[in-house]
Chains A and B, each alone.
Chain A
Amino acid sequence: MLQFLSRRLLSTIPVLLIVAVLVFLVLRLTPGDPAAVLAGDAASTEQIAQIRKSLGLDKSVPEQFLIWFGRMLTGDLGESYYYKTEVTTLIGQRLEPTLSLALITITIAVLVAVPLGVMAAWRFGSWLDRALMSFSVLGFSIPVFVLAYMLIWLVSLKLGWLPVQGYKPIAEGVGAWLYQLILPSITLSVIYIALIARVTRASVLDTLGEDYIRTARAKGLPEAKVLMRHALANAAVPIITVIGIGIALLIGGVVVTESVYAIPGLGRLTVDAVLARDFPTIQGVILFFSVVYVLINLLVDLSYVFFDPRIRY
């Protein structure tokens, strides 16, 4: 187990290293001089050169990378060109809304998708199964922002049940916080539900064909117990895996959802930074999202031991 753990941890290092190189290169080897952007239109050539020097942009690209990488390892992602604050501080400030949105979304998605998937597999070929499969294709196809506006129009404008936009920090009360986030979370959870429900269905369908299911039924176990204790428990690993992989979809969705619902989170920060050509912030945010994604999938791998005791590392 320990050996596996260390091997698995070590294997994420090259991936993260390549992510770092890619993030650095993508934004540094592009046309457009950040120093000129920073200096503004009225700046003289000398002023621009001065800024270039202070940013370290006059050094060679490999040098720049090493400096940037070294700083990054100590948790220093540089200073935002636009906000004039540390990128790590900026990420810290914007973390709560995004984390809240993501957690509520995942909770909704799992609570809805897993039972639906199990039911669909249990009644394979029934109207419920077909409806779920159609819904999942639909869920994959409706763009998050189109869905967002449809829900705002229906739930907020026509019915007046929920606020149109905005965010309230959890410090102002859990009720207000949840009230603001419920619609964005539902919006974002649709594609995630489609994904998880599909995999749950396929995975449970596989286990329902196993001998131990027939045995469990034969010994008179209630059907609910057969489904939960035997079918779902044995189907857990693919479901957990897809929840982990789905985080990438979720991150993409967060960027769009936060823009539509005016939530001041990391997604909104990404778009604003891109529009302002704020290199350090873009690098920082992409790096942050990618590291989170890699680490979550590491956790997912490790959790297999918990969800499937047959797996021994």
Chain B
Amino acid sequence: MTAPPSTPPEEPTALESLSVESATIVSQAGVWQRVRRNTSVRIGGLILLMLVLVALAAPWLGTVDPSLFDPVSRDLLPGATGEITTLDGDTLEHRFIMGSDSFGRDVYSRVIYGTRVSLIVGIATALVAVAFGVLLGLLAGFIRWLDGPLMRFMDGLMAIPAILIAIALVAMWRGTLTTVIVAIAIPEIPRVTRLVRSMVLTIREEPYVEAAVSMGTPTPLIMWRHILPNTVAPLIVQGTFICASGILVEAILSFLGVGLPPDVPTWGNVMAEGRVQFIQYPHNIFFPGVFLAVTVLAVNILGDGLRDTLDPKMARRG
């Protein structure tokens, strides 16, 4: 962001009215402070931080290898003690906190390791969608002849329901982490492109951009220095919501059996495995379902908080 005539952060109303006019006026320190003070950001961020820690510390949280199974320990109820065979052939006594599935795998370990997959997919989806959206949005906003065709193409892409695109792409490419991420990101790209393009078209008319153009500043430099900084706040907000929907769609794909291979520990896969025996053993659906819902909820709450603080213009639209 460009040099800020700093407004005292004690006057949130003045701050907000200013930031509606132009995002550049608010100082970075002021924005950061507002973000940190927001209750939604705190709650959502805290839950997410805990989930990140769980994902990182998965091997030390009393888990076993999530792919280990033992036929003797099939369909155990939560809290039951059973045995599990390691890859070396040793049989260990193990307490199945969340029970076991119909192969005798530890649901707790699979759910804890599943946190990794969900977080990676969510964050990577957001990054991929935002990266391509920014690139295409800048191109559409700056290159006149490209604008029409590119945006019509995006209209077409938006007309196909997102889940259908993701399902079709993953099914055709076969589910790997990369294909799942790309397939979920593609239907999100048009929205980011539209956002960036509309911002480019607005900011391009600002006097400081006109001044830069008249001074002969090359277009890429104008994009980098004057346009992009203005798009950061709305893109963070948008990216958070894409992350939430990415986590959801990945779980849906796995659940339907078209996502990552069934042996990969993902929440959707645990639920897909448990659905046949749902009536007798609801825990296989219940535990991963709660983790999934809480994660998506945390990301959405964080997104709401970020939107309220970073992007008041958008917040007013409800």
| Chain A contacts to B: CB under 8 angstroms | 14-19, 21-23, 26-27, 30-32, 137-138, 140-146, 149-150, 152-153, 157, 164, 198-199, 201-203, 205, 248, 251-252, 255-256, 259-260, 270-271, 274-275, 277, 282, 285-286, 289-290, 293-294
- 30 residue pairs from A and B, CB less than 8 Å apart: A14-B155, A16-B159, A22-B157, A26-B172, A31-B173, A137-B304, A141-B244, A141-B296, A143-B251, A143-B252, A145-B252, A145-B255, A145-B271, A145-B289, A146-B271, A146-B285, A149-B289, A152-B278, A198-B318, A248-B161, A251-B163, A252-B163, A256-B252, A274-B167, A274-B258, A277-B171, A286-B168, A289-B160, A289-B161, A290-B159
The 6 closest A-B pairs by CB, nearest first: A18-B156, A202-B318, A252-B163, A30-B172, A146-B289, A141-B297
The residues of A that contact B255 with a CB separation of less than 8 Å are: 145, 256, 259
Give the distance in Å from the alpha carbon of A40 to the alpha carbon of B74 in the complex.
Answer: 34
Residue pair B162, A142 in contact (C-beta under 8 Å): no
- Measured between beta carbons, the chain B residues less than 8 angstroms from A205 are 318
Interface pair B172/A143, CB less than 8 Å apart: no
Residue with the greatest number of chain A CB neighbours at <10 A, chosen from B171, B248, B251, B271: B171
Could you count the A-B residue pairs with CB atoms below 8 Å apart for me: how many are there?
144
Judged by a CB distance under 8 angstroms, whether B164 is at the interface is yes
Most chain B CB within 10 A, of A16, A271, A277, is at A271
Nearest residue (CB) in B for A152 is B278
B8 within 8 A of A: no
User: Chain B interface secondary structure, helix, strand, loop or mixed?
Assistant: helix
Q: Which residues of A contact B129 (CB under 8 A)?
A: none
Report the interface size for chain B: residues with CB under 8 A from the other chain.
45
CA distance A202 to B315 in the complex (A): 10
Min distance, Cβ B179 to any Cβ of chain A, angstroms? 10
A250's closest neighbor in chain B, by CB? B161
Residues of B within 8 A of A21 (CB): 156
Task: Answer whether A138 and B152 are a contact pair too, CB < 8 Å, given A153-B282, A198-B318, A270-B167.
Answer: no
- Assess the A149–B152 pair: CB atoms within 8 A: no
Query: In the complex, A248→B156 CA distance in Å?
Result: 13
- Contact of A137 (CB < 8 Å), options: B163, B172, B289, B300: B300
- Rounded to whole Å, the gap between the CB of B84 and the closest CB of chain A is 26
- Chain B residue numbers with a CB within 8 Å of A15 are 152, 155-156, 159
User: Does B3 sit at the interface, judged by CB under 8 A?
Assistant: no
What residues on B are CB-neighbors of A152 within 8 Å?
Answer: 278
User: How far apart sit A251 and B160, CA to CA, in the bound complex (Å)?
Assistant: 10
Contact B161 A271 (CB under 8 A): no
**List of A residues within 8 angstroms of B161 by Cβ:** 248, 251-252, 289-290, 293
User: How far apart sit A19 and B152, CA to CA, in the bound complex (Å)?
Assistant: 10
Residues of A within 8 A of B251 (CB): 143
